[in-house]
Structure 1
Amino acid sequence: MNAVEIDVRVFFPEPPAFAEFAPTRAVYVGDVDGRCEVFAWTSAGARQVTDRPQGTVTCAIDPTGAWVWWFDDDLTGVGRWRITPFGGGAAVDAGLPPGRAAGLAMSADGTAAVGVGHDGLSVHRRHPDGRVDLIGEFDGYATLVDLSHSGRLAVLARDPEDPVPAVVLDVATGGHLPLHLPGRSLWVAGFAPVPGDERLLLTTASDTAYRLAEWTPGGGVRELPWFESETEIAPSWYPDGRRVLLRRDRHARSELRELDLDRRTDTLLPTQRGTILAAQVQPDGDLHHVWTDTAHPPHLRTASGRRPLGGPRTTAVAGTPREVWVDTPAGPVHTLLTVPGSPPPHPTVFLLHGGPHAAAHDAYDALVSVFTGIGCAVARPNYRGSTGYGAAWRNDFSDGPGHTQLLDLAAVREHLVRAGVADEHRTAVVGTSWGGYLALLAAGVQPELWQSVAAVNPIADYAAAYRGATPAVRALDRRIFGGDPDRRPAAYAAASPMTHVAAVRAPVLVLAATDDDRCPPEQVAAYVAALSARGVEHELQWTRSGHEGHTGAVHHQVISSVVRFVATALGGRALSAPTKAG
């Protein structure tokens, strides 16, 4: 097995943010020597604003284009907002308390509403002259989503299936109004971006469909029944406040639609087959979207053809993409498959997505390219819990969290073995975050199926992870399990890899982040100690990072370690000195 080149450039999948009243000025997150940093952009070129060892990924620009906001956090995500003059100069503290970034929105005059996360949420108003007021404090998980054009109202989002999934705040008085629609989940998009208009755009979901909805101060929540989708939608406003840009994810791919609210029309916009990671109509009306597919890394595309941030990235991608639908008692499981040029059956890596409410997309993944480049097939199944296949599929944990997904995973593996694609004696399971959790659970629950296991930043002990995680993660866990570990101890124990550690037979690689606030490192260390006590072959590596690991160095460490470990376990030779590209 020869040396494999690994692309360690980083790409933050968001379009640039343009100033509302200065549309020739924008901010974006770009790559600097393998880490994310904030840049200020004009037609004359880009200027780097931030320079921090761990990178910077959260930023905004005020409506006038005078100031760049950026979040100065540590590896656990705790920090402070700072502001820097757009044209250059020293950064200053924004005068807000420390905590987690939990939303930033600005009104037309530059007044900012800022959410600061801790055990709950505090919402602050920062005036253009620098004065800061506390608007309100809230228990549990919540995040600030938007501020109305006038600055009079702000909106908070909670878990979409919470009894009160959203709250509208009166910024002046701190009074608040709960938003809900009986029998519906609810997501907040934002206020109309035009003067005098305080309509709030929402998404609702039943067991069968997703719909658009509006909230108005006098009329409450009203669904727009002329449009609905069987799969997830992400709406945002056009600058005119009369049209909505809709990104819809369906069967591992994306599409963009333009909805005219007055005419009640739905127009499919031309985009290339693949996945759209984010999309936004800029103040000048130009549509920007970040596009990718299995063979092409993410890059920015614009409807106008103007490319403010340079051309697309190019990377050599190995393998031939295919897809299969595998029939199961629960329904068909859609799987993205990439195969190498060598004759089958192949050593096969099952790459598990996180979430759980996410999906394996027709999108570039460096692990897919590297594994197929060394002769492995890669299968990316969209088991139950995945988005893009309807609300019923997304919410199905009927055989228990984790175990439901493993049933679908086993069915896909059996199908690929029977079809002659996968070598049944050389199959591995690999995942990150919730996907890493599933990999460890599979190691103990399905030990006869896997010859190698690799988990990056995983949940290893579900109850312990719950107690050390952020409010957002705990809210999701309570929804999936029907309560916290004190209320549902048996369910958490059954779903925990730690419970099944005695059955693990395959060699296990675990990479864990030292400052992970979603999958805490202590529970990972305890699981690895249990492997050691039982004499299971294993390897533990630590990355100096938080849960996301937004640097090229972490990216390279994870990919090279996972491929080396899995390839060796499946019968290949260890990779020789993986090299960096870019």
Structure 2
Amino acid sequence: MGGMSDAMTLPMPDWEKRFRAPRVSLPEWAEDAPDRSLFVSNATGTYELYAWDRAAGEQRQVTDRPNGTTDGVLSPDGEWVWWFSDTDGDEFGLWMRQPFGGGEDVPAAPGLAPSYPAGLAVGRDGLAVIGRSTDEDGTTVHVVREGAEPVEIYRHRESAGVGDLSHDGTLVALEHTEHGDAMHSAIRVVTLEGSLVAELDDTEGGARELGLEVLGFAPVAGDARLLIAHQRRGRWEPVIWDVAAGRETALTIDLPGDVSAEWYADGSALLIGHSFEARGELWRYDLGDHSLTRIETPRGSVSGATARPDGAVEYLWSSAAQPPAVRSAAGGVVLDPPGGKAPASVPVEDVWVDGPGGRIHALVQRPADAPEGRPLPTVFEIHGGPTWHDSDSFAAGPAAWIDHGYAVVRVNYRGSTGYGREWTDALKHRVGLIELEDIAAVRAWAVSSGLADPARLILSGGSWGGYLTLLGLGTQPDDWAVGLAAVPVADYVTAYHDEMEALKAMDRTLFGGTPEEVPERFRVSSPLTYVDEVRAPVYVSAGVNDPRCPIRQVENYVDRLAARGAVHEVYRYEAGHGSLVVEERIKQVTKEIDFAERHLGRR
């Protein structure tokens, strides 16, 4: 009993405090009632939705479910909180709604069966547009009015989604991939009856791989301007499309990297989000005189921003060293959760490495007390997506490794966003293998520079990063001492047949067809193909309800490891594609670090 008592009185390590520290998302505000806001927080130990009456200074928890809730939106009048109810993280369910001030949860669209979500736009006077995805029907879109049966206005086998609903509730903007390229959407604007109003398609029948994205209708009654993003100049940037007039208005925003935007509340200006080389910043673009004015933010990453009706800009900021906070451009913290604060970590270093497809950007962190000139055990923490990127932002996972004496390297391989369209689109057909070429180039730099001990290199990642981990362990068996794969693709053919419909469409785009149509491409890109070559100890964690990287294909891979007596451990947990429960996440990190240290001989 004495040992148990001593353990309970030990101080909590900083890495664990970072996971437990209360966090909040950027609050979303109701368009017609801006003092009513909705945000996500882990204050109870599980990520849930919270309503915030800013005028009254009151907050209350909206949802309370064992595996958490993060998908929610306010109605424009602020009277209702819509939230998506699935089963233990399987992402298949129904939209529910609850009065802003509290009350019973009721189905938001009683006539609709459960589905995967494919976009939602909540309008005024009980109007909503709901996108749904199922294996049987592909994508459908329904208009829902209180007291009436849902009306279907769109259906297609390929992936699509609801982009936005105009302020007056007469026009619906849809993103669709009817041309068969799930990575590059076209935009269609229809009436509430589904009649075509306008179409914008930069793919030209698939001849050019250019995508469009809906950013939002102008927040002004009777205004048919739609803010969209395009890739015509090799990067994401905004343009205004007047749907009624069929006219586009170019914006003179001369900034490198990707540019996004949202409307100021009166429609006279745009709040510009600028992402370049793993960092973000904000600008105001005046539509009257076309002036571009910088909004001062600290160096790091802005992961969300909004311009409130009085013109005040609020944003969610962090850096690799400093934990996130919701700030005001006028100064100060907007929403400060109660409880302990997350301890700081170490800054990130930028490294550029020449690779087979061009310069590769890597983000490197090393312990502050690392001995000079001595190579370190090093974790290559590979991001998911693949259309995502690591940034100079706070992450409790990498910080935990640093606290345990490891260097951490994160690679924005080909396929990552933020480095131009060609970089993002480069991984088609040789899926996984291209990314691993870039990771190998950065690994060679890490060893030759003296940062990494080649005998103590860990390949680690979740989702697509977990897939690349397993694929890397089999195709680069001499390069890695340990592999840690969370919610991975492990057997690509089985994964394709079991995954949710929207991901099937993405895989057909990446590979150029189904496993039956292009079997060789799936074979050479599947970790299962190389499982017998794996020599490093492998740790795999998987959610049993995961619709993205389903459990059956993980079991196929694990069974092959077991059949040949390979060193491995498997952890299965009752959730989907990751967990929203803080204790569960801490448990997973503890298991990963323990596995690595046992097999690297550090314990």
The amino acid across from 1:217 in the alignment is V
Is the CA contact 2:50–2:60 (under 8 Å) kept in the aligned structure 1?
A: yes
When normalised by structure 2's length, the TM-score is 0.89
Judge conservation of contact 2:213–2:229 (CA < 8 Å) in 1. yes
320 and 362 in structure 1: CA distance in 2 versus 1, 3 angstrom threshold? closer
Q: Secondary structure at the match of 1:572?
A: coil
Partner in structure 2 of residue 178 of structure 1: 199
- What residue is the counterpart of 1:360 in the other structure? 390
More displaced, 34-43 or 162-171?
A: 162-171
SS class of match (1:358): coil
- Superposed CA deviations along residues 151-171 of structure 1, whole A, max 9, x for unmatched, are 111111135766762221210
Which amino acid is 2:370 matched to? S
Q: Is the 8 A contact 1:10 1:36 kept in 2?
A: no
Matched, 1:94 2:108: yes
Distance (whole Å) between structure 2 residues aligned to residue 542 and residue 139 of structure 1: 33
**1:344-369 Cα deviation digits (max 9, x unpaired):** 21011111001111111111222221
State the partner residue of 1:546. Answer: 576
Q: 1:82 to 1:355 in 2, by over 3 A?
A: same
Deviation at 1:223, TM superposition (A): 5.7
Within 2, Cα distance between the matches of 1:534 and 1:421? 34
Structure 2 match to 1:321: 348
Residue 238 (str. 1) matches residue 264 (str. 2) = yes
- 1:226 to 2:262 alignment: no
Counterpart of 1:103, as a letter, is G
Aligned match of 1:199: 225
Shift of 1:180: 0.9
Which of 367, 370, 381 in structure 2 is aligned with 1:342? Answer: 370
Correspondence for 2:4: none
Match of 1:580 in 2: none
Distance in 1 of aligned mates of 2:36 and 2:564: 59
Partner of 1:189: 215
| Aligned 1:487-498 pairs, distance under 5 A | 487-498=517-528
* Distance in 2 separating the partners of 1:128 and 1:485: 44
In structure 2, what is the Cα distance between the partners aligned to 1:562 and 1:86? 40
1:65 aligns with 2:95: no
Higher relative contact order (CA 8 A, sep 6+): 1
> CA offsets per residue over residues 322-377 of structure 1, 9 Å max, x none?
22111223222111111121212101111100111111111122222111111111
* Cα pair 1:296 1:314 within 8 Å, conserved: no
- Whether 1:294 aligns to 2:310 is no
| 2:154 corresponding residue in structure 1 | 136
Deviations 1:389-433 (A, max 9, x none): 122222222782111111111111111111111111110100000
Q: 1:29-66 CA distances to partner (integer Å, 9 max, x unpaired)?
A: 22242111111111321011211111111111112221
- Which deviates more from structure 2 when the two are superposed, residues 57-66 or residues 508-517? 57-66
Per the alignment, residue 465 of structure 2 pairs with 435
Q: Is 2:425 aligned against 1:395?
A: yes
- What letter is aligned with 2:215? A
| Matched length | 572
User: C-alpha separation between the residues in 2 aligned to 1:379 and 1:532?
Assistant: 30
Shift of 1:298: 2.2
Instruction: Select between 32-41 and 151-160 the one with higher mean Cα deviation.
Output: 151-160
Per the alignment, residue 113 of structure 1 pairs with 129
| Cα shift at 1:239 | 0.9
Tell me, yes or no, if the aligned pair for 2:183 and 2:506 is still in contact at 8 Å: no
C-alpha distance in 2 between matches for 1:509 and 1:234? 38
Hey, what does 1:47 align to over in structure 2?
60
CA contact (8 A) 1:192 1:200 kept: yes
Q: Find the residue that maps to 1:394 and give its secondary structure.
A: helix
> Would the aligned equivalents of 2:24 and 2:39 in 1 still touch at CA under 8 Å?
no
- Deviation string for 1:49-95 (max 9, x for gaps)? 21111111111111222122112211211122222121222222223
**How far did residue 434 of structure 1 move?**
0.2
1:12/1:57 contact within 8 Å kept:
no
2:239 aligns with one of 213, 234, 237:
213
CA shift in 2, pair 1:176/1:475, >3 Å? farther
Shift of 1:571: 2.3
Q: How far is 1:440 from its partner?
A: 0.4
Matched, 1:414 2:425: no
User: Could you tell me whether the CA contact under 8 Å between 1:349 and 1:427 is conserved in 2?
Assistant: yes
Secondary structure at 1:47 match in 2: strand
What runs of 5+ residues in structure 1 fail to find an aligned partner? 574-582
The answer to whether the 8 Å contact 1:336/1:380 transfers is yes
| Matching of residue 260 in structure 1 with residue 273 in structure 2 | no
User: Secondary structure in 1 aligned to 2:579?
Assistant: coil
CA distance in 2, matches of 1:538, 1:366: 25
Match for residue 381 of structure 1 among 411, 421, 430: 411
Alignment partners' CA distance in 2, 1:475 and 1:227: 33
Match of 1:169 among 180, 183, 190: 190
Indicate conservation of the 8 Å contact 2:216/2:262, yes or no. Answer: yes
Distance 1:284-1:320 versus aligned 2 partners, 3 A rule: closer
For 1:110 and 1:276, locate their aligned partners in 2 and report how far apart those are by CA, in whole Å.
33
The match for 1:578 is none
Residue 369 (str. 1) matches residue 399 (str. 2): yes
**How far apart, CA to CA, are the structure 1 residues paired with 2:43 and 2:253?**
43
Contact persistence 1:461–1:527 (CA under 8 A): yes
Q: Is the 8 A contact 1:433 1:459 kept in 2?
A: yes
AA in 2 matched with 1:81: W
- Distance in 1 (alpha carbons) for counterparts of 2:481 and 2:109: 54
Segment drifting more, 484-493 vs 374-383: 484-493
What's the TM-score once normalised by structure 1's chain length?
0.93
Give the secondary-structure state (helix, strand or coil) at the position aligned to 1:559. Answer: helix
In structure 1, give the amino acid aligned to 2:351.
Answer: V
**Residue of structure 1 in register with 2:41 after alignment:** 30
* Shift in alpha-carbon separation, 1:193–1:548, aligned structure 2, 3 A: farther
Question: 1:452 maps to what in 2?
Answer: 482
Structure 2 CA distance, aligned partners of 1:56 and 1:193? Answer: 28
Aligned runs of 1:146-165 on 2, under 5 Å? 146-159=164-177, 165=186
2:116, 2:347 → 1: CA distance?
42
Q: What is the deviation of 1:465?
A: 1.1
The structure-2 alpha-carbon separation of the partners of 1:487 and 1:11, relative to structure 1 and needing over 3 Å to count, comes to farther
- Structure 1 residues 470, 14: CA separation in 2 closer, same or farther (over 3 Å shift)? farther
Distance 1:414 1:509 in 2: 24
> Structure 1 residues 150, 353: CA separation in 2 closer, same or farther (over 3 Å shift)?
same
Query: For residues 204 and 543 of structure 1, what CA distance do their matches in structure 2 show?
Result: 40
Alignment of 1:463-502 (within 5 A): 463-502=493-532
Secondary structure, counterpart of 2:355 in structure 1 = coil
How many angstroms does 1:382 deviate by? 1.1
- Secondary structure, aligned partner of 1:78: coil
- Identify which range, 283-292 or 214-223, moves more after superposition: 214-223
* Pairwise CA distance, 1:232: 2.5
